[in-house]
Structure 1
Amino acid sequence: MTTYGTIPATTSSSSPSTQNLVYISRVKNRVKAGLGTRRPWKTMFDPRSFGIPTTISQAMSRLRINVPYFRMNYAMLALFILFISLLWHPISLIVFLLLMSLWLFLYFLRDQPLLLYGHVIDDRIIVVVMTIFTVAVLLLTDATVNILVAVAVGVMVVAVHAAFRKTQDLFLDEEVSGLVHNGGAAA
Structure 2
Amino acid sequence: MLPPVESLPITAEERHLSLGDVISLSMQNLIAFVSSQRPWLEFLALGSVDRPTSFSSAVSRSKVNLRHFVVNYSLVTAASVILFLVSDPTALITVASFAIMWLLLCFCRDHPLVLYGRQVSDRVIFFGLIVGSLWGLWLTHCFLSLFLGVVTGVLLCLVHAVIRNPGDLFVQEEVVAPSNFLHWS
TM-score range, shorter chain: 0.5 to 0.7
The match for 2:110 among 110, 114, 120 is: 114
Are 1:156 and 2:146 counterparts? no
Q: Quick check: 1:86–1:93 contact (8 Å CA) kept in 2?
A: yes
Find the counterpart in structure 1 of residue 76 from structure 2.
77
Superposition TM-score, scaled by structure 2 size = 0.60
Structure 2 letter corresponding to 1:84: L
User: Is 2:26–2:104's contact at 8 Å kept on the other side of the alignment?
Assistant: no
Point out where structure 2 has 5 or more consecutive residues left out of the alignment.
Answer: 1-24, 114-125, 178-185
Aligned-partner residue type, residue 110 of structure 2: L
Distance 1:99 1:28, change over 3 A: closer
Aligned equivalent of 2:180: none
Which has the bigger relative contact order, CA under 8 A and spacing at least 6? 2
The residue that corresponds to 1:48 in the other structure is: 47
Worse overlay, 37-46 or 168-177: 168-177
TM-score when scaled to structure 1?
0.60
1:172 corresponding residue in structure 2? 171
Aligned to 1:86: 85
- Provide the residue aligned with 2:182 in structure 1: none
CA RMSD, Structure 1 to Structure 2 (Å)? 3.6
Letter in 2 for 1:152: V
- Give the drift of 1:88: 1.2
8 Å contact kept, 2:48–2:165:
yes
Contact 1:74–1:158 under 8 Å retained in 2:
yes
SS of residue matched to 2:168: coil
Contact 1:52 1:164 (C-alpha < 8 Å) held by counterparts: yes
Q: Shift of residue 146 of structure 1? A: 1.2
The Cα of 1:135 is off from its aligned counterpart by 7.9
Cα deviation, 1:69-108, whole Å, max 9, x if unaligned, reads 1111111110111011111112211112213433653699
Residues 143 and 88 of structure 1, relative CA distance in 2, 3 Å threshold? same
1:173 maps to amino acid: Q
Distance 1:107 1:50 in 2: 36
Corresponding letter in the other structure for 1:91? T
Per-residue CA deviation, residues 100-144 of structure 1 (Å, 9 max, x unaligned), is 433653699x5xx83669xxxxxxxxxxx9xx9698566423012
